[in-house]
Amino acid sequence: MPEKKEENVQNIAIINGPNLNMLGQRQPEIYGTQTLADIEALCRKEAEGLGFSVDFFQANGEGAIVDKIQSCAEGGTAAVIINAAAYTHTSVAIADALAALDIPVIEVHLSNIYRRESFRHHSYISPLAAGVICGFGAESYVLALHAVKNLLEKTV
């Protein structure tokens, strides 16, 4: 029998970009040893405590990420938390999709992008986001969930 969702539970989309499926294996000195599955479990637990449900998504392809963002505009999503990874610095398509949303967007990164290569200092997403959280590893996602909670409470 399908699980019945409470009507007052707001859904938060957490969208992850390329190579984040390799967390735990890829450059652990930068990204840590937690896997994306570990981060998903952490987010689900934290979201439940905040009264949210989570739609956790990862894709390596830009088009799939744009499609996911566009689906958030169709209703049923209260906010988007996005770690577009390398697409943060290159994708006008993702930025355009986010610009079409009428819900809060929080940009997150595991590493502090401003302590890294200079090409990572520019974000096409930041101007569209309510805020940017970076440099706290998996905790960046937890902080973003709390930021979403605060933003949504201000709009009620």
> Does 122 qualify as catalytic in the annotation?
no
Contacts of 6 (CB under 8 A, 6+ apart): none
13 pairs with which residues across the strands? 55, 80
Phi and psi at residue 92, to the nearest 5°: -70, -35
Ordered by start, the domain boundaries in the chain are: 10-155
Catalytic residue among 87, 109, 124, 141: 109
Catalytic residue among 31, 87, 124, 141: 31
Mean pLDDT of the chain: 90
| Minimum mean pLDDT range among 27-31, 34-38, 82-86, 145-149 | 27-31
pLDDT tens by residue, 67-95: 999 999 998 999 999 999 999 989 999 99
> Does 109 qualify as catalytic in the annotation?
yes
What pLDDT does residue 121 have?
59
**pTM of the shown model:** 0.89
* Superfamily the domain 10-155 falls into: Dehydroquinase, class II (3.40.50.9100)
What pLDDT does residue 42 have?
97
| Minimum mean pLDDT range among 18-27, 93-102, 118-127 | 118-127
